[in-house]
Structure 1
Amino acid sequence: MALAGLRAQRLTRGASARTAEHVERIAADTYAVEFPAGSTVQERVLMPRAPSESRGMEDVRLLRLSTLDGGTEHVGTYTAYNGREVRVHLLRTPDLRTYRSTPLSGPGSRDKGLALFPRPIGGRYVAISRADRESNAVTTSADLLHWEAPVRVQASQQPWEFVQLGNCGPPLETEEGWLVLTHGVGPMRTYAIGALLLDLDDPTVVVGRLEDPILSPTEDERSGYVPNVVYSCGAMLHGRTLVLPYGCSDTFTRIALVDLDALLSLLTGRAHPRAPSRPAP
């Protein structure tokens, strides 16, 4: 009834029809799913339900989030695709059994590849954004739903990333800063994985970035459904080792192990106390 009343005001409120359509679209794209209590995680498969994701739900970036009210929640962002356009949706679950999907809004959530930081910074939620389709930026939100204008923190510089940049999942907190795994697209649309280090208190400040990728497709990883691609939607820290699952040309998956201290040394430009020493020349 409220929307009908809004449409009835189209003569005095010129944008009323457009506003009503926008509200209806958000409602149609918002839904909840509850799996049986006795089901296993392997049985809980989310399939497209909303019009905006009718052709696919892709690249979920899931993490355990510390919320503003002091609690924790499993939250992820993913790309919804309807065959014509992409949108970013938010997936929330308190128990990995009940899920709620909601489309995001605001300039920071445009395009695809939004990745949340695991905790608020300065009283706001923070995310890595690629709203301009080309570079990595930082955006913030008060409610996880509306994302403010992004602040660019990384533009293409090296040949292996000159087509576009993006992220490879949620940032990881280290004592040196926020470690952001990035992907760069270069000649022949070859994807490689690099790294960026952002300040812990102000992630719009870049502490360091790699000039060369830490992972590029090897010869046996170059052929597949989408060739020349290595890509990840999230990594984890296990002690002082970075565990990096990655897809190879959209055909199979591998796991790379990276020495965290050596990586931090490269990013900061100074020797890390735990970094392995280089052999004498």
Structure 2
Amino acid sequence: MMEISSTAPMLKARRKSIVINPRIGRVITRLYLPAGEERIRKLINRVLSLDEDQAVAILETVLREFSHRHRYFRETLEHNFERVADYVPDANSLSEERRLLIGTYFTAEYSVEAAALFNPSIVQIPNQEADPEGCCRFVMSFRATGEGHISSIEFRSGIIDKNNDIYFDPLSDYVRTPQIHPDASYDRHLFRLKLQEMGASNAVTHQLLNKLPDNFTFNDLQGMITKLQNNSQFPPQEKTDAINMALWLAKSNYEILFRPDHQISERVIFPVSESESKGIEDARFVRFVDDDGSVIYYATYTAYNGETILPQLIETGDFLSFKISTLNGKQAQGKGMALFPRKIRGKYVMLSRQDGENNAIMFSDNLHFWQQATMLQEPEFPYEFMQMGNGGSPIETPEGWLVVTHGVGPLRTYSLGIELLDLEDPTQIISRIEEPVLVPNAHEREGYVPNVVYTCGALIHQDELIIPYASGDQRCGIATLQVPQLMARLTGNSGDTVPMTVRYSDDTF
């Protein structure tokens, strides 16, 4: 059995003075449509009934009051006008002022972090030429929550200097959503497998997919759906259900692109597809190094539509363009999936929690498909008796994979723990620290969700483990642990590695 020292001194993370609070003044613009075509037409006709002087005066007031809150504000109003232009009589004959004014009535502001800014992760990015030697430049992601408890992803950037002091880049007053594009290409085989997994595979979907090329576009799919709608050989409801499911899946896979002149703190990934309409939750970013040495940043997150959750994957190389796709397979379920930063024995590896209580580990040949999982551990210590999970992607060290964990204990208190997994066989737990390293203090007990400290990813720089963490599901702080002390404690606790006997499936490797 694994040795755990109960006589060793308590190992507690040291909190830095940094506090990252939500700012309610950072707002995006969203299309705002009243319910039903009749209301849309009535509203447009009311605006058209104004004389030109009235229209210009109202528009000037709106521009004066709101344009300083948004980049490209006039462009946004024009875009939202175009979204309702089909309801406008003789739209092409309208003046620019009238078009923009109509756009204002179909535009609303949304404060993306009005309720909370929490559950951060952190990854190292390339240094800039002017950065001092020995520093580490980073991007930190956050779960931002606004009205209606809709969650999105926000970013901050900064630098950790050679003394491990942390400095954030200036925070922009603006925040902006990206351009959205349906996935440039879909793999027909993978698309078919996902429909089967969703229970949506039938004669209708077979005919739909059989007529598509091996790699097809969203336009290809729409064109084939149009042809299928005119096909009378299938019952109408069966045809409608199959088409809706295929479109739902296609729209859950998309690409987004920010403008290069948007600072990273201006970029927000807001829910796009129906599957994530109620939130994008707890993105765990990781700097992944492939076998050829190339680097790409992945993040797993939970898409939530108010009823069900769907594990999703983000891929980016530059934090400007992002590819969003569904994770597939019978084990791609539940929350808290965290990808290892490289392959192990030629396989992708992921920590996960399928049952809402225990930690699991998964292996796959394909990043997008996860069919096998192994039980890694059950709650063992009092601070995690209720449930446990990971605190982001494992960190590679010479001694093993360092994993920050979270546990839920009395009064639903969330605390952070530490464990070490074997480098070559991460199903083997080398050591765990018995007590939590970070517990909510008196200030951190207060918040949107009391008694919670939580993280979605940490990093090591200059022999210090740097853990950005949320408190009370509302604000964020940063805690640190000295790695030499941490490893001395972990390796001092290690005896024989722990054999794993409980499995969801065999032949993981």
Q: Which amino acid aligns with 1:40?
A: Q
2:329 aligned residue (103, 106, 111): 106
Write out aligned runs for 1:58-97 (5 A).
58-97=281-320
Q: Which amino acid aligns with 2:255?
A: A
What is the alpha-carbon distance in structure 1 between the residues aligned to residue 206 and residue 414 of structure 2? 49
Identity percentage of aligned residues: 42
What do the CA deviations read for 1:228-251 (whole angstroms, capped 9, x no partner)? 000001111011110111100012
Which residue does the alignment assign to 2:265? 42
2:274 aligned residue (43, 51, 61): 51
Deviation at 1:121, TM superposition (A): 0.5
What is the alpha-carbon distance in structure 1 between the residues aligned to residue 245 and residue 430 of structure 2? 40
Deviation at 1:38, TM superposition (A): 2.3
Q: Quickly say closer, same or farther: Cα 1:225–1:206, change in 2 above 3 A.
A: same
What is the alpha-carbon distance in structure 1 between the residues aligned to residue 292 and residue 250 of structure 2? 26
Number of residues paired by the alignment?
267
Which residue does the alignment assign to 1:278? none
Does residue 207 of structure 2 align to residue 5 of structure 1? Answer: yes
Q: Which amino acid aligns with 2:352?
A: S
Comparing 254-263 with 226-235, greater Cα deviation is found at 254-263
Write out aligned runs for 1:1-281 (5 A).
3=205, 5=207, 23-269=246-492
Query: Residue 364 of structure 2 contacts residue 372 of structure 2 at CA under 8 Å; is this kept in 1?
Result: no
Comparing 105-114 with 201-210, greater Cα deviation is found at 105-114
SS at structure 2 position matched to 1:96: coil
Comparing 35-44 with 228-237, greater Cα deviation is found at 35-44
User: Is there any run of 5+ residues in structure 1 with no aligned partner, and where?
Assistant: 272-281
Comparing 229-238 with 256-265, greater Cα deviation is found at 256-265
What is the alpha-carbon distance in structure 1 between the residues aligned to residue 299 and residue 365 of structure 2? 16
Q: Quickly say closer, same or farther: Cα 1:105–1:18, change in 2 above 3 A.
A: farther
Which residue does the alignment assign to 2:159? none
Q: Quickly say closer, same or farther: Cα 1:136–1:22, change in 2 above 3 A.
A: farther
Query: Residue 108 of structure 1 contacts residue 149 of structure 1 at CA under 8 Å; is this kept in 2?
Result: yes
Q: Quickly say closer, same or farther: Cα 1:137–1:19, change in 2 above 3 A.
A: farther
Q: Which amino acid aligns with 1:29?
A: S
Q: Quickly say closer, same or farther: Cα 1:198–1:22, change in 2 above 3 A.
A: farther
What is the alpha-carbon distance in structure 1 between the residues aligned to residue 292 and residue 247 of structure 2? 30
TM-score by length of 1: 0.88
What do the CA deviations read for 1:138-165 (whole angstroms, capped 9, x no partner)? 1012221111321111110111101111
The answer to which structure has the higher helix fraction is 2
What is the alpha-carbon distance in structure 1 between the residues aligned to residue 309 and residue 292 of structure 2? 31
Q: Quickly say closer, same or farther: Cα 1:172–1:19, change in 2 above 3 A.
A: farther
Deviation at 1:46, TM superposition (A): 0.7
SS at structure 2 position matched to 1:247: strand
Q: Which amino acid aligns with 2:382?
A: P
Q: CA RMSD in A?
A: 2.5
SS at structure 2 position matched to 1:150: strand
What is the alpha-carbon distance in structure 2 between the residues aligned to residue 18 and residue 179 of structure 1? 46
What do the CA deviations read for 1:110-151 (whole angstroms, capped 9, x no partner)? 111100111110101111111121111110122211113211
Deviation at 1:268, TM superposition (A): 2.1
What is the alpha-carbon distance in structure 1 between the residues aligned to residue 304 and residue 251 of structure 2? 14
What is the alpha-carbon distance in structure 2 between the residues aligned to residue 103 and residue 217 of structure 1? 34
SS at structure 2 position matched to 1:123: coil
Query: Residue 107 of structure 1 contacts residue 131 of structure 1 at CA under 8 Å; is this kept in 2?
Result: no
What is the alpha-carbon distance in structure 2 between the residues aligned to residue 206 and residue 124 of structure 1? 19
- Structure number with larger C-alpha Rg: 2
Query: Residue 87 of structure 1 contacts residue 103 of structure 1 at CA under 8 Å; is this kept in 2?
Result: yes
What is the alpha-carbon distance in structure 2 between the residues aligned to residue 172 and residue 46 of structure 1? 26
SS at structure 2 position matched to 1:269: helix
SS at structure 2 position matched to 1:234: coil
Query: Residue 107 of structure 1 contacts residue 150 of structure 1 at CA under 8 Å; is this kept in 2?
Result: no
Query: Residue 53 of structure 1 contacts residue 81 of structure 1 at CA under 8 Å; is this kept in 2?
Result: yes
What is the alpha-carbon distance in structure 1 between the residues aligned to residue 366 and residue 376 of structure 2? 23
Comparing 62-71 with 121-130, greater Cα deviation is found at 62-71
Name the structure, 1 or 2, with higher relative contact order (CA <8 Å, separation 6+). 2
Q: Quickly say closer, same or farther: Cα 1:61–1:121, change in 2 above 3 A.
A: same
Q: Which amino acid aligns with 1:103?
A: T
Query: Residue 113 of structure 1 contacts residue 167 of structure 1 at CA under 8 Å; is this kept in 2?
Result: yes
Q: Quickly say closer, same or farther: Cα 1:5–1:270, change in 2 above 3 A.
A: closer
